[in-house]
Amino acid sequence: MSEYEIIKKLESMKKVEPNADWASFAKKTIVSKTFETEPAVGLKESALHLFGVAFNRPKMAFAYSLLICVLFGAVVVVNSSYSGGLTQLASVLTGVKVEKVQTPEERLLAVIRATESELDKVVAESKDIKGEKIETKKVLADASEKLRSLPAEQKAKFAGTVVAKVKTLEKNSNAVIMDEKEPLVQEFYQVIAENEIKELENNAKNLTDQQKVILNKAKDFFALKKYSDAVEELYKIQPSAGK
């Protein structure tokens, strides 16, 4: 192409103007454009993504492992001062309510507290000794059912606590509200006496001759099913038995 032709070509291009509809068309296209949004990512997916990234990069894997150890240690510390710590953490992470599992000792303590509370309520609300005796008997009947449901190693502690509680209430109110000769009450004394006799027999070599005489007398009462009398004798053996 000659120089003349190039100049003519450039002059013709100067006269080219944009299409009148171009601006409105471009605006319409931009406005009508639907922008795609990022899909929402849940906690679980985020955690999996982080673990995937971490374990594809050794340095990040180490950092994440250290962070997890620190967090777990913090949870254990919190749990040691508050027994429901781990249970609450599990509930938060899973979104499911987790019932705290009681230890045998916690279950026993709960039963003891409930029974003591019921006995306190009887004394506080009863209008006379007769009514107090009736209500106390009801509480002891309920306590008897609880006693039978407890593991063997917890029965003596529960029975001893119930009897001691009633004795304390009797002393404070200066009234007898428990008939020790009733079979219901004897059931508690039976458990106490049986446990005391077993412990003393296991320690027989450390008992004095006098203490052995008392132990044998208590065993005689036990054989006759006079359990409260057996307990009374057993309590005469002083704590210095091992000396």
Question: Whose CA is closest to 110, among 66, 158, 63, 142?
Answer: 158
Mean pLDDT score across all residues of the chain: 77
pLDDT of residue 50: 55
pLDDT of residue 194: 97
Question: Mean pLDDT: which of 13-22, 27-36, 215-224 is highest?
Answer: 215-224
DSSP state of 241: G
Structure tokens at 128: 């006379």
Q: Where are the domains of the chain?
A: 103-178, 182-243
pLDDT of residue 99: 61
Alpha-helical regions (H) of the chain: 3-14, 22-31, 43-56, 58-81, 85-94, 104-125, 129-149, 152-173, 183-202, 209-223, 227-234
pLDDT of residue 174: 86
Percent of the chain with pLDDT over 90: 43
Pick from 100-104, 148-152, 188-192: least confident: 100-104
Task: Provide mean pLDDT across the span 49-70.
Answer: 56
Which has the higher per-residue pLDDT, 51 or 139? 139
| Structure confidence at residue 118 as a pLDDT band (50, 70, 90) | very high
| Structure confidence at residue 102 as a pLDDT band (50, 70, 90) | confident
Percent of the chain with pLDDT over 70: 56
pLDDT at residue 146 greater than cutoff 70: yes
Residue 99 phi, psi (nearest 5): -80, 130
| Structure confidence at residue 75 as a pLDDT band (50, 70, 90) | very low
Question: pTM score, two decimals?
Answer: 0.58
pLDDT of residue 89: 52
Which has the higher per-residue pLDDT, 1 or 175? 175
Which has the higher per-residue pLDDT, 87 or 166? 166
Judge residue 86's burial from the number of C-beta atoms within 10 Å of its C-beta, 0-12 exposed, 13-18 middle, 19 or more buried: middle
Question: Whose CA is closest to 162, among 199, 103, 111, 228?
Answer: 111
pLDDT of residue 81: 45
| Structure confidence at residue 177 as a pLDDT band (50, 70, 90) | confident
Work out the number of other CB atoms within 10 angstroms of the CB of residue 134. 13
How many Cα atoms sit within 13 Å of 15 on the Cβ side?
Answer: 4
